[in-house]
A and B are shown apart, each in its own frame.
Chain A
């Protein structure tokens, strides 16, 4: 009822404002109640731990049972920043993030174009491409660990039988090779998700645009460059942000595939924080490292958001 009267209410501007305000207040109250369960489910769980972690990062907590925990201010941060391992794992994490995000975006875009192409059994192709995404991360890690195995792995078997490799290689035995091997395993699971995200953007492009391009006798490359790519900027941007953040937080696949090894060669920053907190039982340093991770992610995201705003795109 009020909806109608508010829309059609004649009269002074002041009266309309009052009705509008009342309507807004009522919507605000309803929104509060509708959002309360979600807020409890999310912020009820995370708010206290955030403050607690920031607090603990200012104290020296050497073991789970420590009774003496002196206040050290930013001491934990200073110590973390002075450890060469911190900078090594930060560098590794940035490498992991940049390479895996780039790989996933480029291959994902290609796969998205294929998913969108006129194929004989397109439904079957789409069904197959979804599969890697559904494989749980830990299973994916165990699977690739088997594929990369130095004694009997499928990759060694395949490459030697094809004559590409002459003797079996320990793919996870050398730090830099291992890091790249993990990136490939991670990308295998994630590319389908990226591809479907971009496909969602592709299917939203109006068909008339392609028609117009055909009338103008534009080739496939031109259609891709001038129609698809510009209109895909929003979905590609979202994927870029999501994947960057996710890659920077990477932990599960490292834990299950390499345990951070060999010689810390795959120890990313989240994994480093985990070992400092749990293996070394140094909760103060572990908390400081966690806070540092959040700060780096905030910086990365704000850079992205600024770039996106510049290109007049919005996440929401």
Chain B
């Protein structure tokens, strides 16, 4: 009993340490974003400032110049991430159903080809993609970025969903099909509702991936018309090297949408992925 108690105390201490390691860097960034510049660069550092300075958030949300560019990037990132997720989920659900339920020639090969694209570094496709987008008039457009982002996100969605669909018993579907429901009907009315954890996990992965994408956005955008938040933040950080507070404020705002998505769907990660990881 004593032994078990000691183990439990140790486990809790370890969990506290991990939690602090997860939160401390973000806490510092949050504090820096509201610490007056003069206090921020003093030595020894005063962790909690005497008074808070919210002017950087005002700059971001109402100022011209930096603020305008940031707000444009926030809108662009949102439009791109939401569109990419929508396209990738629809396309991914259809494809994953085929992989999970249908028997066809080269099934394994085709699946491996999709997953194999993960091995391609973006740099290997960058220059030709630039030329293609340019000739199609899609450079510096949201549509262009959604198209290239989908090619990164779809293989992930296919992987998570086809693994999850395989764990759903086929009997239910068979029963419905005997009653005359079509394949697609069975997919929508039986498989999808049963696959909710897998769908939510895939949705979360897709959103985080799309929100995080940097290299394509860096090279394929040139103005507020299509620049995404990662590009805006990296430019920010390059231009205002001495003003960490402003970069921290921008970074914090840029992290809020993916944080909300992650916190909402967090409980589905484990159930949504466990299906995939035990498949032998």
Interface residues of A (CB under 8 A from B): 1, 3-4, 24, 27-28, 30-32, 34-35, 37-39, 41-46, 48-50, 52-53, 56, 110-111, 114, 117-120, 123, 125-139, 141-147, 149, 151-152, 154, 157, 160-161, 168, 188, 192, 196-197, 199-201, 203-204, 220, 234-235, 238, 242, 245, 249, 251-252, 255-256, 270, 273-274, 277-278, 283, 286-287, 289-291, 293-294, 297-298, 301, 312-316
**Nearest neighbor of B148 in chain A, beta-carbon distance:** A45
Tell me which of A37, A110, A234, A283 has the highest count of chain B C-beta atoms within 10 A of its own C-beta.
Answer: A37
Give the shortest distance, in Å, between B178 (CB) and chain A (any CB).
6
Kindly state whether residue B74 has any CB partner on chain A within 8 Å. no
Interface 0/1 of B233-277, CB less than 8 Å to A: 110110000001001100110110011011100110111011011
Report which of B99, B219, B278 forms a contact with A235, defined as CB distance below 8 A: B278
Instruction: For A161, give the chain B residue with the smallest CB separation.
Output: B44
B30 to chain A, nearest CB (A): 10
Chain A residues within 8 Å of B1, by CB: none
Q: For residue A220, which residues in chain B have a CB less than 8 angstroms away from its CB? A: 7
Q: Tell me the complex Cα distance, A46–B211, Å.
A: 20
Most chain A CB inside 10 Å of its own CB: which residue of B97, B261, B279 = B279
Task: Please determine whether B270 and A199 come into contact, CB atoms closer than 8 angstroms.
Answer: yes
Nearest B residue to A20 by beta-carbon distance? Answer: B103
Q: Is B64 an interface residue (CB 8 A)?
A: no
Known interface pairs A135-B259, A293-B124, A297-B119; 6 further A-B residue pairs with C-beta atoms within 8 A, sorted by A's residue number: A42-B154, A50-B125, A130-B269, A138-B212, A142-B251, A314-B280
A-B contact count, CB below 8 Å? Answer: 305
Residues in B neighbouring A245, C-beta threshold 8 A: 118-119
Identity of the chain B residue whose Cβ is nearest the Cβ of A292 in the assembled complex: B124
Whether B43 pairs with A168 at a CB distance below 8 angstroms is yes
User: Within the complex, what minimum Cβ distance (angstroms) separates B244 from chain A?
Assistant: 4
A131–B111 alpha-carbon span in the complex (Å):
31
* Residues from chain A with Cβ under 8 Å of B108 in the complex: 316
Is residue B58 contacting chain A, with contact meaning CB distance below 8 A?
A: no
Q: What per-residue 1/0 map shows which CB atoms of B187-198 lie under 8 Å from chain A?
A: 000000000000
Q: With A138-B214, A143-B25, A316-B279 as known contacts, state yes or no: A120 contacts B12, CB within 8 Å.
A: yes
Distance between Cα atoms of A255 and B124 in the complex (Å): 17
Interface string of B201-214 (1 = CB under 8 A from A): 00000001001101
25 A-B pairs with CB atoms under 8 Å apart are: A27-B102, A34-B94, A42-B117, A42-B151, A44-B151, A49-B127, A53-B128, A56-B127, A110-B14, A114-B11, A123-B267, A125-B15, A130-B263, A136-B211, A136-B229, A136-B254, A139-B230, A143-B26, A151-B43, A152-B45, A234-B280, A245-B119, A251-B121, A274-B123, A278-B219
Bound Cα distance from A297 to B122, whole angstroms: 13
**Contact residues in B for A294 (Cβ distance below 8 Å):** 119-121, 124
Q: How far is the CB of B93 from chain A (nearest CB, A)?
A: 9
* Nearest chain B CB to A47 CB, angstrom units: 10
Name the B residues within 8 Å of A50 (CB-CB): 120, 124-125
B85 at the interface (CB under 8 A from A): no
Interface of B is mostly: helix
Residue of B nearest to A27 (CB): B102
Task: List residues of chain A with CB within 8 A of the CB of B234.
Answer: 138, 141-142, 255-256
Candidates B11, B42, B95, B107; contact of A117 at CB < 8 Å: B11
**A149–B105 CA distance with the chains assembled, in angstroms:** 56
Point out the residues of chain A lying under 8 angstroms from B254, CB to CB: 136, 138-139
- How far is A238 from B111 in the complex, measured between Cα atoms in Å? 16
Residue of B18, B47, B114 near A129 (CB, 8 A) is: B18
A145 to B115, CA, bound (A): 33
